[in-house]
Structure 1
Amino acid sequence: MQVAINARFLLPNRLEGIGRYTYEIVQRMALNHPEVTFHLLFDRPFSNEFLIAPNMISHSLGPGARHPWLWYYHYEVRVKRWLKQHQVDLYWGPDAFLAESPSKTKSVVTIHDLAWEHHPEWNAARVSRFYSKWVPKYCNRADHIISISDFTRHDLVSRYGLPSNKITTIMHGYDEKKSIDKLVEWQRIPLFDPYFLVLGSINPRKNSYNLLKAFIEYKDEGKITSDLVFAGELGKGWSRKERSFITACFRRSDVHYLGRVSESEKEALLFNANALVYPSLLEGFGLVLLEAAQFNCPVLTSESSVCQEVLTGYTNQGGVIYIDPYSSESIGQGLTEVESIQKGPSLERNRTWDEVARELWEVLIGKINE
């Protein structure tokens, strides 16, 4: 059996979001099914670190797709041509992209969220236009669709008119918790005690601007004592005014910008944080919420349906403060409340990436056998 997989987001030392999702599932499927050949379709020279099993073969279908025009060329020309030449049994797009495949090749696409439909201003205009035009086409050409939450599934049905029986929700898993003793040894970065922790890319979707405004107001008024630590890269999508404000905040003595951190550093930060602060405006899932729960780290997060879906489905919701992400006052008040919480949520559902990989494989093999 031959399976082709989009691997454009498998980037060395930069596994976030879709890249992490792809990596966790593909490596498990390859190890669990040695009888199957998995073809990883890259858009640039690949790293051998992702080829962990002899049944994994990589293909570089350049040039690198870093622009909507090149996205079109990569999928609608290069990948489409490759699929026609190789006639694989199944083609999976874990990245919401799906090239046209031959009629004998079954195809499945994973959709993480429809952020460009809700907030097109978060991306360059040409990027949002591309997604709005092509993602519905990818969904219609797919034999089946995977959503990572019921929130995204309902969004696909209501916005794109897709039949609900064409979509299966398979929620994320999480890595096993590391031992606390080992975590203490991993504290290789300066720790700021006490501190609120913000994990992930600093972009409009994560609501960093409103968070900083609320934090500064409440900190300067003496309503909170914790510092604010950002562990993630400063992303795109900000106006000049917003970006200037954010970079100015990073020069404050109580706001710390660490940039990208390693997995072990992230775990040490979560283990020692007063709270994870996650006032996101829109998410397809919110894996960081589960990472915080692994260490009983108190959580401040949005009252959005997906954040509540994740925390309700996986944890006891203890030590969680929900806020209105559009209100600086609500965020500020939430900071004062979460700062006094001693213990955060505990995981009550044992769901690893092994389970996710098994569920997704059942969907894929089901399509092949139809």
Structure 2
Amino acid sequence: MYRIALNARLLIPGKLEGTGRFTHQCYKRLVSLRPEDKFLLIFDRPPPMEFDYGENVETVCLLPPARRPWLFDVWFDYAVTWKIKKWNANLFVSTDGYISRRTLTPQLNVIHDINFEHNPDWLPSRYSKHFRKRFPEYARFATKLCTVSNYSRVDISKCYGIAEDAITVIPNSSDAMFIPIDERSKQAARDQFCEGKRYIVFVGSLHPRKNITGIVKAFEEYRRRGGSSELLMVGVSMWKDEKREALGVHYAGRLNDNALAKAVAAAEAMLYLPFFEGFGVPIIEAMACGVPVVASNCTSVPEVCGDAAAALVDPNDYDAAAKGLLKLEVDREFRQQVIQSGLMRSKDYSWDRSAEILSNEIDQLLNA
């Protein structure tokens, strides 16, 4: 029996963004895969009941809440260090990139991407400066380093001088609720989100790296060329208001899991044009729903799409994105081919397989 401490800082009910969802889906399977081990979920707020993964799991809340750069240091370097020593942990697992720089306990660290190294101006300066100072340390302090795509593995290797073969890829996946729905359900979603009209969907934070302005401009070009669907933007702004108003554009804000799955599955297409991604979970969610995707041709996006995208375009090429959307609208045979390719591609990703990879890496650390 081993004692494994888990960073649960981003397990926040109703607010599971990409990293939080990765954490939830991997942790609950990890606990099931390792019934003989003991786990400690370490929160920085009162532990919510939604993340009760089993009888072999304890929870603890450590203060102060790690919500600001200087508090990250206090929480991970002191509070977490103290707790994992007191609990006699054999291993500390962190799925959000942060680890302790003061513990002797082995640590497995998952860094999803390092966009702040390439575009620090996308974040408030105090955050970008902190990330650029700390993440090279977190990468090198980790006993085992993991990430979510081959793109991120190569990027981390080049930026931080860590051998590629020392970094393991643990991919994201889509949740079970992302499945195709019938026409009646689609119309109910149209009624709820877009005044009964057909729509194209974007899902993600309203953040500069997501290219919100470019998505709206590509949509406007699509409408100028005769496209008939609306655009539904699902997500909330992070640092400042990134909304871009335009005719036919609707903002849904943050949706709960069931509403999100319904909103995606009812769409005519997904328009996803980020400048930078470490993975791009909405791509797989859309494909699993039978929704064709027009996406960026940069960073991890082509890797995740495989050959299943309707079009891969430069995120600043609004004409190309509009043409991709229009082709899906007028060429039914092409549309069906893309849908089938997407459904097949989505099956290449599985939370069960990702949790198994994580568990195998833990075995290698514990048995070293």
TM-score normalised by the chain length of structure 2 = 0.90
What is the number of equivalent residue pairs in this alignment?
Answer: 355
Deviation at 1:210, TM superposition (A): 1.4
Alpha-carbon distance between aligned partners in 2 of 1:293 and 1:7, rounded to the nearest angstrom: 29
Deviation at 1:357, TM superposition (A): 0.5
Q: Point out where structure 1 has 5 or more consecutive residues left out of the alignment.
A: none
- Kindly provide the amino acid, as one letter, of the partner of residue 346 in structure 1: L
Alpha-carbon distance between aligned partners in 2 of 1:119 and 1:322, rounded to the nearest angstrom: 22
Deviation at 1:264, TM superposition (A): 2.0
Find out whether 1:362 has 2:360 as its counterpart: yes
- Kindly provide the amino acid, as one letter, of the partner of residue 366 in structure 1: Q
Aligned to 1:156: 156
> Map of 1:131-210 to 2, 5 A cutoff?
131-176=131-176, 178=179, 180=181, 184=185, 187=188, 189-191=192-194, 192-210=196-214
Counting aligned pairs with the same residue, the percent is 29
- Kindly provide the amino acid, as one letter, of the partner of residue 209 in structure 1: T
Q: 2:219 aligned to 189, 200, 215, which one? A: 215
> Map of 1:1-370 to 2, 5 A cutoff?
1-100=2-101, 102-103=103-104, 105-176=105-176, 178=179, 180=181, 184=185, 187=188, 189-191=192-194, 192-219=196-223, 221-237=224-240, 243=242, 246-249=243-246, 252=247, 254-312=248-306, 317=308, 320-341=310-331, 342-343=335-336, 344=339, 345-348=342-345, 349-370=347-368
1:285-343 CA-to-partner distances (Å, cap 9, x unmatched) read 1111111111221111001141111121xxx51x5111110233333333333433533
Alpha-carbon distance between aligned partners in 2 of 1:183 and 1:4, rounded to the nearest angstrom: 46
- Kindly provide the amino acid, as one letter, of the partner of residue 16 in structure 2: L
Deviation at 1:52, TM superposition (A): 2.6
Alpha-carbon distance between aligned partners in 1 of 2:319 and 2:225, rounded to the nearest angstrom: 15
Aligned to 1:39, the other structure's residue is in SS state strand
In structure 2, the CA distance between the partners of 1:212 and 1:180, relative to structure 1 (3 Å rule), is closer
In structure 2, the CA distance between the partners of 1:298 and 1:340, relative to structure 1 (3 Å rule), is farther
- Kindly provide the amino acid, as one letter, of the partner of residue 288 in structure 1: P
- Kindly provide the amino acid, as one letter, of the partner of residue 337 in structure 1: K
- Kindly provide the amino acid, as one letter, of the partner of residue 201 in structure 1: S
Alpha-carbon distance between aligned partners in 2 of 1:76 and 1:362, rounded to the nearest angstrom: 27
Q: Is contact 1:41–1:58 with CA below 8 Å preserved after alignment?
A: yes
- Kindly provide the amino acid, as one letter, of the partner of residue 211 in structure 1: I
Aligned to 1:180, the other structure's residue is in SS state coil
Q: Point out where structure 2 has 5 or more consecutive residues left out of the alignment.
A: none
RMSD: 2.2
Deviation at 1:184, TM superposition (A): 2.3
Deviation at 1:216, TM superposition (A): 2.6
